[in-house]
Amino acid sequence: MSPIIDCRLAQSAADLDAVYQLRYECYQRRGAIAANETQRFSDAYDAMPNHFSFLARQDGEPLGAVRISVVT
């Protein structure tokens, strides 16, 4: 049986924190950002009304995240 992956819009503080932590880990692994104390990465786009972050979880654990920017 395949594992169930749940993907939802990240709206709660806990979900957004998981998104920022995953983003930090990924960017750090690639050397794209400097290390920081919080081990989180967010930027001004996260606060814009046309940007949406989705969080994928497997068995309740954060698995991946994606940010979508909507331009009309």
Confidence of residue 12 (pLDDT cuts 50, 70, 90): very high
What are the tens digits of pLDDT across the range 27-70?
999 999 999 999 999 999 999 999 999 999 999 999 999 999 99
Q: How far apart are CA 45 and CA 31, in angstroms?
A: 21
Non-local CB neighbours of 10 within 8 Å, separated by 6+ positions = 16, 18, 19, 53, 54, 55, 65
